[in-house]
C-alpha cells in the first residue's frame, strides 16, 4: 500500500486508480478543494456531477475541468444547501438524470459567518454544513444503493475540537452566538453524521468517512476580516508551531483518499486527516479526533434531531 501524508496531492493519491464507470457527486464542486476533487477524479475517468448554488461559477469550473482533463463526463446540478426546497429539487433532478452514485462527497460548507438563518430558519452554519447535507444524502440514498464500492465522504474539520454539538440549542435560539463555536459544532455534527450512516448502512456495503482536509486558503474564509484571519492563524500556530497552509491540491487529497483507499474498505464511521485514519485524542492540539465526535449515543441523538428538523425520516 502506498503511504501518503499532509504533503500528498489529490493527483498523487489517485495515481494508479481507474475511476471509469464511477459516478461521483460533489457538493461545493465549483471552487476550492471541491473543484480540485472533481478535476482529479475526472482525470481518472469518473463521471463527475458538480452541485453548487451558482450556475455561472459551476460553468466556469466545468470549462476549466474539461480543458485540463479532456473529459466530457462532467456535469452540473443546482443546489443551495441553505434551502431544504432546493435540496429536494436537486435530489429529484439527480434521481431523474443519474442511474447511480458510487461516491458522494459532501464537500460544501460555510465558515464563521455572522449570525444568519437559512431559508427554513436554521442557524446558517448548522443548517448548511449539516442539515442540508443530511437531507441531500437521504434523498440520494436510492442512487447510492445502486452504486459499486459505495462511499460517502463528509468534510468535517479540526475545528470540531472547538465544541461538541449543542443538541439542546443547535440554532442558537437561547445561546449567545459565537461564529467559531457554531462552526465547531457544525463540524462535530459532520463527524457524527458519518457515525450514524455507518451504523445504518454498512451492512449494505455503504461506508462513510469524515475528513479534515487541513488548513487551506480558499473562499471558505470569505466571511473573515483581515483581523479575524490573523487571529485565527495565530491561534493555530500557538497550538502547532509546525503548522503550514496546504495548497488546494493537497487539501483535496484526504477526500480523494477516503473515497478510494483500499486499506479502509469496509471500515467507515471514522475521522481521517492527512490521508490516514486519525486516532481518538481528547487532549492533542495538533491532530486527532475528539471522542465526542465519534460517540454513538451523540450520533443517534443528532440523527433523531435532524430528522425532526428537516421534517422527514431518513431514507432506508
| Strand positions, DSSP E, 21-116 | 23-27, 47-52, 74-78, 103-106
Which of 80, 81, 29 minimizes the C-alpha distance to 59?
29
The three three-digit cell numbers of residue 279, written as one number:
486516532
* CB 122, CB 178: distance < 8 Å: no
Please list, in sequence order, all residues whose beta carbon lies within 8 angstroms of the beta carbon of residue 287, skipping any fewer than 6 positions away: 158, 273, 274, 278, 281
The three three-digit cell numbers of residue 271, written as one number:
475521522
Give the C-alpha separation, 243 to 188, whole Å: 22
Bridge-based pairing of strands 207-212 and 151-155 is parallel
Please list, in sequence order, all residues whose beta carbon lies within 8 angstroms of the beta carbon of residue 284, skipping any fewer than 6 positions away: none
Q: Which of 177, 183, 209, 292 is catalytic?
A: 177
Q: Is 177 a catalytic residue?
A: yes
The three three-digit cell numbers of residue 117, written as one number:
438563518
Which of 253, 244, 245 minimizes the C-alpha distance to 273?
253
Catalytic residues: 177
Amino acid at each position: 500500500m502506498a503511504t501518503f501524508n499532509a504533503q500528498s496531492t489529490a493527483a498523487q493519491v489517485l495515481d494508479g486508480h481507474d475511476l471509469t464507470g464511477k459516478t461521483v457527486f460533489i457538493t461545493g464542486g465549483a471552487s476550492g478543494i471541491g473543484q480540485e476533487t472533481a478535476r482529479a477524479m475526472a482525470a481518472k475517468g469518473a463521471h463527475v456531477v458538480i452541485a453548487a448554488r451558482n450556475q455561472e461559477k459551476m460553468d466556469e469550473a466545468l470549462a476549466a475541468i474539461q480543458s485540463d482533463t479532456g473529459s466530457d463526463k462532467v456535469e452540473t446540478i443546482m443546489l443551495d444547501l441553505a434551502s431544504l426546497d432546493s435540496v429536494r429539487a436537486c435530489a429529484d433532478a439527480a434521481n431523474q438524470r443519474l442511474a447511480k452514485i458510487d461516491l458522494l462527497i459532501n464537500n460544501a460548507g460555510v465558515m464563521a459567518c455572522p449570525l444568519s438563518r437559512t431559508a427554513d430558519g436554521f442557524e446558517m452554519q448548522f443548517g448548511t454544513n449539516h442539515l442540508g447535507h443530511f437531507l441531500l444524502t437521504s434523498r440520494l440514498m436510492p442512487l447510492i444503493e445502486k452504486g459499486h464500492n459505495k462511499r460517502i465522504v463528509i468534510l468535517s474539520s479540526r475545528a470540531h475540537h472547538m465544541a461538541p454539538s449543542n443538541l439542546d440549542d443547535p440554532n442558537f435560539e437561547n445561546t449567545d452566538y459565537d461564529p467559531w463555536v457554531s462552526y465547531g459544532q457544525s463540524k462535530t455534527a459532520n463527524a457524527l453524521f458519518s457515525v450514524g450512516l455507518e451504523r445504518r448502512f454498512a451492512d449494505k456495503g455503504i461506508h462513510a468517512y469524515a475528513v479534515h482536509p487541513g488548513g487551506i486558503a480558499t473562499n471558505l474564509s470569505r466571511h473573515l476580516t483581515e483581523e479575524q484571519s490573523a487571529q485565527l492563524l495565530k491561534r493555530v500556530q500557538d497550538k502547532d508551531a509546525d503548522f503550514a497552509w496546504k495548497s488546494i491540491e493537497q487539501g483535496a487529497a484526504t477526500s480523494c483518499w477516503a473515497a478510494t483507499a483500499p486499506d479502509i474498505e469496509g471500515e467507515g464511521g471514522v475521522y481521517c486527516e492527512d490521508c490516514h485514519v486519525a486516532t481518538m485524542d481528547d487532549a492533542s492540539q495538533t491532530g486527532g479526533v475528539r471522542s465526542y465526535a465519534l460517540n454513538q449515543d451523540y450520533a443517534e441523538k443528532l440523527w433523531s434531531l435532524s430528522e425532526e428538523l428537516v421534517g422527514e425520516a431518513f431514507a432506508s
